[in-house]
């Protein structure tokens, strides 16, 4: 076994201790936080050992569907569960990111032109730089100052920001024609991730004179491209706008909130398929049922929004999350936009991984 991996017996004992402590000190909520933690921890631990996720220098790819929502949401679960330390899989994820930031000049991009096609090295490098900054900034939230390695991650990302042309302010984004994170429209959502990172960074980082040109480019891009974006991207921007001012006008926010509530389903949730126009490669129909990913992201985005007297609709969305956790494994369901998948397989669970992470984020943030 590679030195990067924690021995399985140690991992098992660490997780068992966390869940036992949770059982003795249950948090005051109507959903099962311990079950959600167990699902997320198991999926993160699986991802670290999956051959397809392995990269050079004994590192692992940070996936937008499994690892990103896991690393963003799991610390909040630790607080709810009164865990003394972050669980082993979270620490492993952060250690992996820090290692790649430290070795930025040596590690290869996640994907290479020679194996994945022209332009993939550049796309992959830029995408990773944003995700690294986002994860490390989220981990620094609540601290008095930015960790030096987090600052290095920001510097690496800003250096790869596009400086001219129609996409000035954004990043070359990884495109494998897989919605919602690796498709042609995903570049915009990637830029919103960077806005979130800057908004989360402690110590008034967003006022640092050294990054003002970068932030102006970013804001300009997000505002310039806003009207052409699918609803999902605009919703993620609404979430980012709660952390980084100047991304939406009051009028845009009110109109967006109206549109979001028009898409709310009778059961109080939202369906990802209704937030854009996507065609599955196997020509199967998109799932129209409410799902944990769409409902989680929207609940997060609406937390700091001007709801215009529609608090009841917001509460119904949060209630949907409380009531639709899978009792068997602690997850929330979501469905692939790209093809019909078997939800019992590891790949089929990718959207459920994302749904569970964002559902937990939303429930923890709005409790």
Residue 197 has pLDDT above 90, yes or no: yes
Q: What is the mean pLDDT of residues 324-347?
A: 98
Query: Ramachandran region of residue 82, left (φ > 0), alpha (ψ -120 to 50) or beta?
Result: left
* Residue 275: inside a domain: yes
182 has which bridge partners?
178
* Residue 305: inside a domain: yes
pLDDT tier for residue 7 given thresholds of 50, 70 and 90:
very low
Considering the chain, what percentage of its residues have pLDDT values greater than 70? 92
**Domain count across the chain:** 1
What is the model's pLDDT at position 11? Answer: 42
CA distance 162 to 9: 46
pLDDT tier for residue 308 given thresholds of 50, 70 and 90:
confident
**What's the gap between Cα 170 and its chain centre?**
18
Q: For 39-81, how does the pLDDT look when each residue is reduced to its tens digit (9 = 90+)?
A: 999 999 999 999 999 999 999 999 999 999 999 999 999 999 9
* Residue 25: inside a domain: no
Q: What is the mean pLDDT of residues 10-24?
A: 42
- What range does the domain containing 272 cover? 249-367
pLDDT tier for residue 23 given thresholds of 50, 70 and 90:
very low
CB atoms closer than 10 angstroms to residue 97? 26
CB atoms closer than 10 angstroms to residue 99? 17
* Residue 206: inside a domain: no
Q: For 74-125, how does the pLDDT look when each residue is reduced to its tens digit (9 = 90+)?
A: 999 999 999 999 999 999 999 999 999 999 999 999 999 999 999 999 999 9
CA distance 129 to 1: 28
Q: For 285-300, how does the pLDDT look when each residue is reduced to its tens digit (9 = 90+)?
A: 999 999 999 999 999 9
* Residue 326: inside a domain: yes
What is the model's pLDDT at position 29? Answer: 57
Q: What is the mean pLDDT of residues 191-211?
A: 96
φ and ψ at residue 225, rounded to 5 degrees? -95, 0
What is the model's pLDDT at position 54? Answer: 98
* Residue 119: inside a domain: no
Q: For 212-235, how does the pLDDT look when each residue is reduced to its tens digit (9 = 90+)?
A: 999 999 999 999 999 999 999 999
pLDDT tier for residue 28 given thresholds of 50, 70 and 90:
very low
* Residue 357: inside a domain: yes
* Residue 345: inside a domain: yes
């Amino acid at each position: 076994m590679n030195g990067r991996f924690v021995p399985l017996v140690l991992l098992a004992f660490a997780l068992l201790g966390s869940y036992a402590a949770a059982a003795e000190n249950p948090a005051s909520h109507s959903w099962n936080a311990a079950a959600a933690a167990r699902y997320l921890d198991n999926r993160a631990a699986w991802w670290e050992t999956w051959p397809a996720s392995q990269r050079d220098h004994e590192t692992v790819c940070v996936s937008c569907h499994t690892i990103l929502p896991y690393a963003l949401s799991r610390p909040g679960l630790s607080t709810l569960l009164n865990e003394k330390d972050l669980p082993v899989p979270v620490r492993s994820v952060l250690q992996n990111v820090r290692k790649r930031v430290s070795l930025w000049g040596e590690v290869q991009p996640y994907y290479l032109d020679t194996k994945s096609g022209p332009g993939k090295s550049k796309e992959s490098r830029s995408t990773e730089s944003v995700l690294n900054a986002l994860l490390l900034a989220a981990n620094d939230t609540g601290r008095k100052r930015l960790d030096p390695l987090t600052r290095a991650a920001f510097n690496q990302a800003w250096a790869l920001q596009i400086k001219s042309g129609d996409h000035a302010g954004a990043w070359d984004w990884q495109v494998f024609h897989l919605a919602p994170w690796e498709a042609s429209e995903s570049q915009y959502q990637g830029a919103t991730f960077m806005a979130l990172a800057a908004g989360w960074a402690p110590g008034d980082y967003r006022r640092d004179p050294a990054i003002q040109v970068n932030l102006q480019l970013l804001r300009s891009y997000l505002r310039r491209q806003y009207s052409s974006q699918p609803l999902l991207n605009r919703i993620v921007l609404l979430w980012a706008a709660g952390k980084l001012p100047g991304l939406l006008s009051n009028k845009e926010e009110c109109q967006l909130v109206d549109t979001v509530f028009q898409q709310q389903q009778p059961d109080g949730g939202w369906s990802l398929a209704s937030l854009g126009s996507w065609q599955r490669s196997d020509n199967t129909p998109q799932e129209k049922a409410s799902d944990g990913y769409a409902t989680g992201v929207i609940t997060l985005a609406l937390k700091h929004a001007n709801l215009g007297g529609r608090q009841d609709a917001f509460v119904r969305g949060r209630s949907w999350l409380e009531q639709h956790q899978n009792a068997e494994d602690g997850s929330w369901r979501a469905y692939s936009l790209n093809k019909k998948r078997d939800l019992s397989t590891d790949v089929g669970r990718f959207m459920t991984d994302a749904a569970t992470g964002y559902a937990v984020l939303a429930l923890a943030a709005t409790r």
